[in-house]
Amino acid sequence: MTAKEYLNRIRRQNFILKQTEHELTEIRSDILTIRSSSMAEHVSGSKNSDIADKYIRLEQYMDKVNHEWDILINMRMEAKAMIKALPDPQQQAVLYARYINCKRWEDIASDMGYSWQGVFKLHGRALQSFEHMNKMLLCKE
């Protein structure tokens, strides 16, 4: 696995987490809509058990979100330690911004005071350094 592939796993996991959180928000909204409409109807019986079942599923989905968070946190912690070991602080900064903070290239360039080309060159050197320092780990992945 290359350094870029390794670090891009964090960006992908961040995207998965955001999508899962979005789905949770939608489910929560749907349940609240169902609950308010059933309360307005004052219907008893199976409607209440349906809502209870939905709350149970909502709890299960919240567990899924927490699991995705755990994965992302672990990935970030591992990658942060590896990035911090790079000798060049500018290389650390570009990798941290791109892969840990999931920033866009234009934001990284602006924040660091570089042109796009400058950021891409720095990023390329940073990936080479990262790969060189972590050959053994990247070979295992």
Q: Where are the domains of the chain?
A: 3-140
Phi and psi angles of residue 2, each rounded to the nearest 5 degrees, phi first: -85, 165
Q: Residue 97, exposed/middle/buried by CB under 10 A (0-12, 13-18, 19+)?
A: buried
- Which tops the pLDDT comparison, 29 or 43? 29
Taking all residues of the chain, what is their mean pLDDT, rounded to a whole number?
88
Tokens of 32: 């609240």
- Which tops the pLDDT comparison, 43 or 117? 117
Q: Three-state secondary structure along 72-134?
A: HHHHHHHHHHHHHCCCCHHHHHHHHHHHHCCCCHHHHHHHHCCCHHHHHHHHHHHHHHHHHHC
Confidence (pLDDT) at 80: 97
pTM flag (> 0.85): no
CATH of 3-140, one of 1.10.3470, 1.10.150, 3.40.50, 1.20.1050: 1.20.1050
Q: Are 85 and 54 in contact (CB under 8 A)?
A: no
Confidence (pLDDT) at 47: 55
Q: Is the pLDDT of residue 70 over 90?
A: yes
